[in-house]
Structure 1
Amino acid sequence: MSLADQIAPLLPHLRRYARALTGNQKRGDAYVRSLLEAIIADDSIVDRALDPRVGLYKAFYGIWSTADLDAAQPAEEVSGTEGVVSQRLSRMTPINRQALLLTAMEGFSNRETAHVLQVDEGEVSALIDAALKEIDNQIATNVLIIEDEPIISMDLEQIVRDLGHDIMATVVTRDEAVNAIATKKPGLVLADIQLADGSSGIDAVKDIFARFSVPVIFITAYPERLLTGERPEPTFLITKPFLQSTVKAAIGQALFFNNEESEAA
């Protein structure tokens, strides 16, 4: 099988990872595009001795850690909020967040993550612990949950509370979501796609975006509906069934970038 055939089905997940890592759909896609251009120029950057997915993510790490895509953009594109977020990224330790996202969201083992990040396997646990401490220190916010499955909504409520955040409301339809935001803005939205009355969590989020700018994490059993290559697509996406660590990592990333944008504003 050719390298192109091996990596093609992996690209939607790599795009999801890149967006979660950068906190921005456009920037995340730009890094993936830069990787593909590099592979076309020299496909040896993908380590064929590794599992194809591990090799692809390792090659992505090489692009992420060396390419300064923001510097290549016009000044006005990275001014204001975007500039502050970019500066924050340069001051933080990106490898901590990468280790957490690779294991918690992308499902890599510590050994595979070590290959991707080109570190000793023994370092991975320490990197993850450091990222989790950053999440634990985040400022608390109000969370709106849009989920029609009672057991899943209870799980999400518990995860949110364990992180020190408050539940603004838990709703099961688009109309209930609209009513919930009538008098109060959420600090974060966790949204399923297919809701109890046949309404759409995607439409509910669009209704929210019409009023507020707020980070959203889609949690769905149908990720293919949101990874089609069409616009709009989510920055943060979790597939059901999920692990608590996956949700925690996504919440940490979403609020990290949202807090930076709030400071800039």
Structure 2
Amino acid sequence: MTQVDLSSEVGAALPYLRRYARALTGSQSSGDNYAAATLEAVLADRSVVSDASSPKVGLFAMFHGIWVTTGAPVEEEDAGPRAIAQKHLQRLTTNSREALLLHTIEEFNLGEVAEIMQIGSDEAENLVTIARQEMADGISGRVLIIEDEAIIAMDLESIVADLGHRVTGVARTRDGAVKLGTSDAPDLILADIQLADNSSGVDAVRDLLAELGHRPVIFITAFPERLLTGERPEPAFLISKPYSEDQVRSAISQAMFFSSTETLKV
């Protein structure tokens, strides 16, 4: 692979590294700082990326090395959601959350997860299993679904219920979402981008957060690259369509884990 090809592959993988980084930290700014540090490390030593099974795997491996070296921190505040998240993190098995995100949200196979984290494949599989259980235990809440496709909405309802959460309602439009969300305030919002009346799920979420204050949000879209440009505030939790059940389950657990999430503003 030439240097030009390597740069192109790294550039294509960067939006997804940024998505992964902000899901780990619960913060867009902190996640992007880690992504920037990773790029600087790649520029200083390209061998980790060029010698990996793929440039994307190498890029994430470089990130992981920096992440574990710094102690895998979450931004702490004197009080509030991230301080609570930090306390939760201290109770999780080391590296379990990272393995879960890499495998389910970023869709690396277990061998690639093992390569990124420099562990055995069996250990990677075990960490994913542990993470699913640990992040689900003791976390339950109310979920508002904003989705105009009936079949997808039913599928999401089923996944949410199986995780032990209560669906407060399903909205197909921006106005419907605001009405439902303000009448029964959710702990988490799961939102499509394009709604039935051509209104925006992003706008619906913006309206709800203005009324309800900060709370976790997961966006679902067929075009994630349009929302991962770095040109404006972006979602910390983003699922691509078509999605898998594991992706949704993992994102919900992550979002509930951080009881506050930076989200899109337009």
- Answer whether TM exceeds 0.5 for this pair: yes
Report the Cα offset of residue 182 of structure 1: 2.4
CA distance in 2, matches of 1:187, 1:69: 26
Residue segments in structure 2 that go unaligned for 5+ positions in a row: 261-266
Partner of 2:252: 251
| 2:45 is the counterpart of 1:42 | yes
Partner of 2:199: 199
Report the Cα offset of residue 49 of structure 1: 3.8
Assess, with a 3 A threshold, how the Cα gap between structure 1 residues 88 and 158 changes in structure 2: closer, same or farther: closer
Report the Cα offset of residue 43 of structure 1: 2.3
Partner of 1:79: 78
Report the Cα offset of residue 30 of structure 1: 1.2
CA distance in 2, matches of 1:169, 1:87: 31
CA distance in 1, matches of 2:185, 2:191: 15
Q: Which moved more, 1:91-100 or 1:156-165?
A: 91-100
TM-score of the pair, normalised by structure 1: 0.90
Partner of 1:4: 7
Report the Cα offset of residue 19 of structure 1: 1.1
| 2:31 is the counterpart of 1:28 | yes
Report the Cα offset of residue 87 of structure 1: 5.0
Contact 1:157-1:167 at 8 Å conserved across structures: yes
TM-score of the pair, normalised by structure 2: 0.89
Percent identical among aligned pairs is: 49
| 2:160 is the counterpart of 1:157 | no
Report the Cα offset of residue 153 of structure 1: 0.5
Contact 1:31-1:69 at 8 Å conserved across structures: no
SS of equivalent to 2:95: helix
CA distance in 2, matches of 1:129, 1:69: 20
Q: Which amino acid aligns with 1:217?
A: I
Report the Cα offset of residue 92 of structure 1: 2.9
Partner of 1:262: none
Report the Cα offset of residue 189 of structure 1: 0.4
Contact 2:171-2:177 at 8 Å conserved across structures: yes
Report the Cα offset of residue 91 of structure 1: 4.8
Q: Which moved more, 1:164-173 or 1:13-22?
A: 13-22
Contact 2:182-2:208 at 8 Å conserved across structures: no
CA distance in 2, matches of 1:183, 1:40: 51
Report the Cα offset of residue 68 of structure 1: 5.3
Superposed CA deviations along residues 3-46 of structure 1, whole A, max 9, x for unmatched, are 32220011001111111112211111111111111122222343
| 2:61 is the counterpart of 1:58 | yes
The count of residues paired between Structure 1 and Structure 2 equals: 256
Residue segments in structure 1 that go unaligned for 5+ positions in a row: 260-265
Superposed CA deviations along residues 91-147 of structure 1, whole A, max 9, x for unmatched, are 533410111111111111111111011111111221111101113313221100000
Report the Cα offset of residue 258 of structure 1: 1.1
Assess, with a 3 A threshold, how the Cα gap between structure 1 residues 108 and 158 changes in structure 2: closer, same or farther: same
SS of equivalent to 1:218: strand
Assess, with a 3 A threshold, how the Cα gap between structure 1 residues 146 and 68 changes in structure 2: closer, same or farther: same
CA distance in 2, matches of 1:177, 1:214: 15
Partner of 2:214: 213
CA distance in 2, matches of 1:222, 1:110: 25
Superposed CA deviations along residues 206-253 of structure 1, whole A, max 9, x for unmatched, are 001101211000011121221121222000000000000000000111
Partner of 2:179: 179
Q: Which amino acid aligns with 2:78?
A: S
SS of equivalent to 1:210: helix
Q: Which amino acid aligns with 2:158?
A: Q
Question: RMSD value over aligned CA atoms?
Answer: 2.1
SS of equivalent to 2:186: coil
